[in-house]
Chains A and B, each alone.
Chain A
Amino acid sequence: MVGRAESAAHADGAPDSPLVIRSLTKSYGSGRPLVLKGISLSFAPRGVVAIIGPSGTGKSTLIRCINRLVEPTSGEILFKGRDVARARRRELRLVRRRIGMVFQEYNLVERLTVMENVLCGRLGYVPAWRAWLRRYPQTDIDKAFELLDMVGLADFVHQRADSLSGGQRQRVGIARAVMQDPDLLLADEPTSSLDPKTSVEIMELLAKVAERRAIPVLINIHDVMLARRFATRIVGMSEGAVVYDGPPEGLSDDHLRTIYGGEDWLS
């Protein structure tokens, strides 16, 4: 229940907000159309936020701007008070290591084992030679075992990532993100490659992470039902702009028509 209604209200950024986005725009190349048309959002210190909208509307671009996998064209992204959009290399790395990310196609390093993939989450903290020699600090290794236990993959520690099923891979992806000890979790269509039952399990896991760690989790998602079920706040996007921002109960068919267009699909 925390900060649901007011989170939408104080889009200009409250002091306690870990993530504030101001007038964010993105265009892939000058002269190309804007994919994001001045997005301003502010996020509460905890809770699942679902970002919904049709394909190609800039949801993925928005998420990727937050950890600068995509370079924003203009605007500010304040993460714990620091402007990510202007962060230089080292500063950017320090920001990134506190932002976990879960991907649609899991993006595990296929030829590494489950354990090695999870420990990738420590690369922002651990010097590269330790990773090279697999000499991670014992505390990291203990934590990795703990997380693998939490996501239900304790028996798969030494398996190579390419031998896992989609749902198992996404669990590894989540464990890797949580391994970063994040203050924010981004998920880019985390369930789009999964079957309905697994999708629910993955969403449950993400919600659990949000609750246990008390951090905001931003999820791009196609499935409106899943969004309604798990999110405490829904952001609806259409053509690069926010057209709905509020609690799931407030999301009406009218809103969905504005977001997705048409209406035949709503019946």
Chain B
Amino acid sequence: MNAAVRQAAFRPNWAARAGWLLLAAYVLYAAQILDLSWARFVLGLGQGERFLSRLFPPDFHRWPLLLDGLVESLQIAVIASALGILASLPLGLLAARNLMPWWVSTPTRAFIALCRSFHPILVAIVFVKAIGFGALAGILALMVASLGFVAKLFAEAIEEISMKQVEAVRATGASFAGVVIMGVLPQVIARFIGFSTYQLDSNLRNSTMVGIVGGGGIGGTLFAAFQRFDYGFLCAILLAIIALIMVGEVVAARLRAMFQ
């Protein structure tokens, strides 16, 4: 009897249920509009099979070209990461609302948001148009991307620090630089290294792509191979990129572990 009177432990959330139902309905509707049908999928499978069979075996004949592109991509990634990460240190600091007055942090945050608002490929296109073909455009594009990512996360990490530790350093009569060096950085430096290695990883990936729009690196070679239907070489390039990314990932993980 007692149990019967007791109210339900969990209230039904009608709004959430309606939301899920709506989402399901929209997915079905959108698939209809885009003509996503099983027949189209099967047709695609057939084409994919032909494409795959032309990819293999990979053709490493022109390996010097491949190596050149790969090395250039690597250089683009490393230079863009180094400069971008270095620049995001002061930028992140200026964007932290707990250390800076609003009239400094707000414009800085706006600038960082601007850096983040476009995909690196779009930024690369802009730079290629503005300063011409080549690695410099790719480097600048990836620098902007690094700034947007690392500075934003760095600023957020700073906003989460313990102000008690900062207060204590400030109470010793330390200058602002002293407070940052001994009170703020020790609390965030490990996380900053973490963000930076993720960004290096991501820059490595993107550096193989900026070449497609003329920003230098292996991407240009890749795109040319596509256009000439040189599928064997294309496959060789893809395999090389996979190898590069994997090595990059291992290096980044090592770096992170070193600074924990």
Contacts and interface: CB of A to CB of B under 8 A. Distances in A.
A101 B164 CA distance: 12
Interface residues of A, number: 33
B171 A111 contact: no
A108 B181 CA distance: 14
Contacts of A69: 167, 170-171
A110 B165 contact: yes
Given A69-B167, A108-B168, A110-B165, A120 B182 contact: yes
A124 B164 contact: no
B171 A67 contact: yes
B148 interface: no
Given A69-B167, A101-B168, A109-B165, A124 B173 contact: yes
Contacts of B169: 109, 120, 123
Contacts of A122: 172
Given A109-B182, A131-B181, A124 B168 contact: no
Given A69-B170, A93-B173, A97-B172, A123 B165 contact: no
Nearest to B180: A128
Contact of A121 (B165, B172, B175, B187): B172
Nearest to B175: A128
B187 A176 contact: no
A171 interface: no
Interface in A85-115: 93-101, 103, 105, 107-112
A265 interface: no
B211 interface: no
A120 B167 contact: no
B177 A128 contact: yes
B178 interface: yes
A39 to B, nearest CB: 20
B57 interface: no
B246 interface: no
Contact of B186 (A101, A105, A111, A126): A111
A189 interface: no
